[in-house]
Amino acid sequence: MRDQPNIIITGTPGVGKTTHCEMLAQNTGLTHLSINQISKEQDIRETYDEELKTWIVDEDKVVDAVMDKLEVGGYLVDWHACDMFPERLIDLVVVLRVDSTLLYDRLKARDYPEVKLQENLDCEIMEVLLDEARENYAEEVVVELRSDTTEEIEANIERIEAWIKQWKEDHANKA
Ligand code: ADP
């Protein structure tokens, strides 16, 4: 039995996952688990896609690398995919969404090559991550939140903090 929840913060690159995870980690004591960082540190990157200028990671190895942590609980999983984590270990999936013009500007600022930028814009417009979350987790576990403005970040953080508090109360009562 976990006494702390695991939350996936997902969405298209540039949507605000890292920003949300860092703020939440600071405010709640949950740990920011950046799959990007873990895949670099543990060298579980598989192949380099020259056209997209990006690493493809081995998802099985990602799961192996984080399973022990998720079993304990208390993690904010930061990744642009959510379908590889076992459903029983995930208590909330937050799918961040952003206006495509704003996303274009954010990715342009990262100097993404045009083809990578376009692929990510399509991913956001086609709601790829939202569909993935809904296909893999129960309806009540998936929450879609806007991340266009800093005011929205603050509102999202407050909402997720309240959810964590409630989760802990509910699980303390059961223990
Ligand atoms: P991700 O981790 O999803 O790739 P980041 O958290 O790195 O996204 O955010 C990408 C950029 O967009 C950063 O410069 C961040 O400050 C900015 N940003 C993210 N969310 C918002 C928001 N809701 N309002 C304004 N700027 C944002």
Tens-place pLDDT, residues 74-113 = 999 999 999 999 999 999 999 999 999 999 999 999 999 9
Q: Closest residue (by CA) to atom 5 of ligand 1?
A: 16
In short, whether 35's Cβ falls inside 6 Å of ligand 1 is: no
- Contact criterion met (CB below 8 Å) for 91 and 9: no
Which of 26, 98, 99, 106 has most ligand 1 atoms within 8 Å of its beta carbon, as the pocket-test mutant? 106
In short, whether 148's Cβ falls inside 6 Å of ligand 1 is: yes
In short, whether 37's Cβ falls inside 6 Å of ligand 1 is: no
Q: Is the pLDDT of residue 135 over 70?
A: yes
CA distance 39 to 148: 28
In short, whether 15's Cβ falls inside 6 Å of ligand 1 is: yes
Which of these ranges, 50-54, 99-103, 120-124, has the smallest mean pLDDT? 50-54
Q: Is 45 helix (H, G, I), strand (E, B) or coil?
A: strand
Query: What is the amino acid identity at position 56?
Result: I
Ligand 1 atom nearest to CA at 109: 14
pTM over 0.75: yes
Ligand 1 mean position, distance from CA 15 (Å): 5
- Residue 17 among known ligand-binding residues: yes
Q: What are the chain's domains?
A: 6-165 (3.40.50.300)
Percent of the chain at pLDDT > 90 equals 87
Ligand 1 atom nearest to CA at 150: 24
- Residue 18 among known ligand-binding residues: yes
Ligand 1 atom nearest to CA at 80: 3
To the nearest 10 degrees (0 to 180), the angle between helices 17-28 and 150-174 is 50
Ligand 1 mean position, distance from CA 45 (Å): 24
Q: What is the mean pLDDT of residues 141-158?
A: 98
CA distance 88 to 104: 35
The pLDDT of residue 175 is 53
Task: Compute the 3-state secondary structure of the chain and give helix, strand, coil in percent, each to the nearest 5.
Answer: 55, 20, 25
